[in-house]
Structures are given as C-alpha cells and as structure tokens.
A and B are shown apart, each in its own frame.
Chain A
C-alpha cells in the first residue's frame, strides 16, 4: 500500500486516491503536420519504465486535486511529487 503525500492534505493512504495513468507528452500542437508514426506514438505508446514512472493521481476521496508523482515501478518508492501540471486541461508533460 502506498502512502501518498497529497500536496494539500499531507500523507494519506493510497485508498483515498484514484490512479490517473502515466503522464503523457503534451499533445502536439501541429498535429496536421506530424508524421503518422509520431502521431500514433503520441496516441498509443505510454511510458512503461522498469524504474521511475511519472503518473497522475487524483485525491478523489480527499481534497479532489490532481497532481503528478514519480514512483519507482520496482519498489513503489515515491521519488517526487509535483503539482506543476495541476489545472492544466491536457495534463501534459512540460516540454
């Protein structure tokens, strides 16, 4: 079980949160100019590292905020928590 430090509520049990999937790259702005390969990769290829993965979590049974944590997929260690992307509609990675 993870103990996730919500940036607003502090450390809470994982059961209070919903997992929102790995962080995606920001949607390409010039998608009409994009090569098919790059567009398909944006749509279908997630990050799946054996190591730290950036992912979205939602404090749905708490304050309701969305934030990004960096969690090691081998150990569940939470390496980093950020709210940089919060409030951003497409929730994309800063490039």
Chain B
C-alpha cells in the first residue's frame, strides 16, 4: 500500500499528481471465497478489514451493487456519538467512538476527524428527564453527558437566539455530550476499502446480488447469485443496510425490520458559525457545520416504509420551520441540496449483528444512524464470522433476543422515537 504522508503529497505534486497508485484493485471475480460480504458500504468494508487484520481471513469478496461507498455511508449526517440509553448499547458505541479516534492513524488516511461535542437543546421536561436518565446510564459505561444552563447553552451556540421565555417551547436546559465528533464520511469507506484491499480482500463493484443460494442437501448457505454469475462461499454476510429484507426475502428468512426514508439537506456555505453538533430532540431537527461551511441539517424519517431516497416537501418544511424557531437568523440561508437514505429499524430499534437460522448466513442490520457504529459494527461482525460466536460487545444484538421476547428497547434522540 502506498503510504500517504506530507512527503508523498509533495512528491506527487511535483509530478503533477499523475503517479498516485490506485487505492484498491479491481481483480477478476473468482468462483469461490472463504467469506462473501454483500455491501461495500461502511459496515461491509470495515468487516472485511477487521476479518483480515484481526482474524487473518483474507480470501474475502465484498460485493457491491453500485459503487463503493455510494449507499448510506454517503448519505448520513456524519455524527459520531455514544449517548445511548441501554446498558447493552452504550459500551458498544463507546468502543465505536474510541475506534474512530484512532482510525486516521491506523488506516493512514485523513478522515478529517473533528471532535466537537454534541449539545442537546432541551425544551420540555419529559425530554430533560429522559436525557438525564441517559446521562446516568452513560456514566456507568464511560459515556459522558453533562447538563448546562440556558445561558451557557447560548454562549456555546451563538446563533441560537430563538426559544426564549415567550416562545412556544422555551429552552430549559442544554445537555453536552463531549465525546461526539464528525468526520468525512466518504473517507471512512475509502480508507477501510484501501486497507482491506491491501491485506488481500477483493472488492467487486457493479456486482449485484440477486439472491442467496442454499445447499440443497443440508440447507446451509452455499453462495450468492449475482449479476455476474454464481459465487460460492461457506459464509455469507448481509451488510446492506436498508435493503436487508430484500436480500433475505430471497430465501424466505423473516427479519423484524422496517425500512424508512430519512432525509437531510445542506445550506450554502457560510463562515464558521457553529462549532458543535446541535441536536434539538423536542422539535426534531439536528445540525452541524461542515468544513466547507455548509450547515448539514437532518430531521425525522418519513411516515411509512420507503425505499425512495428522496425528500418529501412537507417533511422538509417541517424540519425547516422547526429549525427557524430556534435559529431565526438562518431564515436567509439558501438551501443547496437535499437527499434521502434508506434506514432499517429493528422491532426494538436496536441493531442486529447475528448468525441466522441458516448456517453460514450472517446479518448486520438495523443500523438507523449506523455511521457512528461503522468501526465497532465491522469489528464485532468480523469476530462473529471468524469465530462463530458473538463478540461480547455485540452479544446482546443477536436475533435470539426476539425468540426470547427479550427486547432492548432503544430510542433515538431524534430518529427512532
């Protein structure tokens, strides 16, 4: 792997940037691998990387229908945080935040990682109560959440001029989650792809999986049928985010998942005005400012299941109206782009990292807000695939919990409520 550094940058600048080596290969498709990973997004590529790095399994194919990193890893709002509710969830996300912190160095790729706190703007007492409960739970597992008063809140977020005492929902407190960060989402996919490729993993783009194949005799998974022919492996992992059920439906495997469309949009670039991630759980909107200066804004998912990846006008208007209640100065901002992504939410809103009833078939799904979970999701799924037993951090996330009706009722701060 060509090392990236200030020297390689200078050297390549002198030669007109013509001699950079490719970040990953495009090898011919083989007929058999040890492991097939469906989906070259954040989770799929991270899984491939940790399979190679931690478990020495390198005869791996990552299959991608479109282009590498073109799904939800390209469509999220880049927030990394660990302020979850349940004892089962928090250590997992704490691990993910930790892994993200060291990722730029580990993968020799500038992720533009920027630790900047997330601040909740709290406007109702039930929400304050809920977040304070998160604070105490987080405290048990090393995830910090602190309350600040309204004055301090407004000092830290200067454009927050709405929500005064006479408004519809006056601001009553702020809650700070200092370990929250943002980083460049594309770089996460690209860096994992480059590092996995370097260790021998094959990435095959434009290779759509049409259906899963089972051995006629023993019912185990035997491979996948793709747009480029059948490929065989004893272990197949479905890591396709919102389209999980579309894949598992091909062998009548039923999963407790619904797929929704979640939208986001960005403003025109402006000078630095907000240096934290702002989350407004009571009115259902969150935002941060990108390095380019655009405000990246997200709201709530559309009502009803959807695979459309578009934005509904009234959902967009609701988010904008909510935003302007608290940030009236943003009224004059032009909004530049909007998009949607398909997110899958499990019955109890907790992710699924699990073996299935079909031997050799693994599923990683239910990652609404899965960007923050990419490193730990890949880390634990690789462990599960290699050893056939769950990593302790993801042990609560198996499908068995549904069989015991032992749900981990998680809730988002905005998305899954």
Contacts and interface: CB of A to CB of B under 8 A. Distances in A.
Contact of B255 (A22, A36, A45, A49): A45
A48 B308 contact: no
B254 to A, nearest CB: 5
Interface string A23-44: 0000000000000110011011
Contacts of A19: 303-304
B304 A55 contact: yes
B125 to A, nearest CB: 25
B314 A73 contact: no
A86 interface: no
A22 B259 CA distance: 11
A75 to B, nearest CB: 7
A50 B246 contact: yes
Contacts of B246: 50
B314 A14 contact: yes
A89 interface: no
Interface in B114-168: none
Interface string A53-95: 1010000000000000001011110000000000000000000
A43 B407 CA distance: 12
Given A44-B256, A48-B257, A1 B308 contact: no
Nearest to A53: B305
Given A43-B405, A45-B254, A75 B314 contact: no
A61 to B, nearest CB: 13
A18 B304 CA distance: 10
A53 B258 CA distance: 11
Interface residues of B, number: 23
B161 to A, nearest CB: 28
Interface string B324-355: 00000000000000000000000100000000
B210 to A, nearest CB: 13
B403 interface: yes
A9 interface: no
Interface of B: 243, 245-246, 249, 254-259, 303-308, 312-314, 347, 402-403, 405
Contacts of B259: 48, 73
Given A73-B306, A74-B307, A76-B306, A48 B245 contact: yes
A74 B249 CA distance: 16
A44 B312 contact: no
A77 B347 CA distance: 26
Contacts of A48: 245, 257-259, 305
Contact of A40 (B245, B306, B308, B402): B402
A53 B402 CA distance: 23
A46 interface: yes
Contacts of B305: 22, 48, 53, 55, 73
A76 B245 contact: no
Contacts of B254: 41, 45
21 contacts: A1-B312, A1-B313, A1-B314, A13-B314, A18-B303, A19-B303, A19-B304, A22-B258, A22-B305, A40-B403, A41-B254, A46-B258, A48-B305, A49-B245, A49-B249, A50-B246, A50-B307, A53-B304, A73-B304, A73-B308, A74-B308
Contacts of A73: 259, 304-308
Contacts of B257: 46, 48
Contacts of A49: 245, 249
Given A73-B307, A73-B308, 20 more contacts: A36-B403, A37-B403, A40-B402, A44-B256, A44-B402, A45-B347, A46-B256, A46-B257, A48-B257, A48-B258, A48-B305, A49-B245, A50-B246, A50-B307, A53-B304, A55-B305, A73-B259, A73-B305, A74-B308, A76-B308
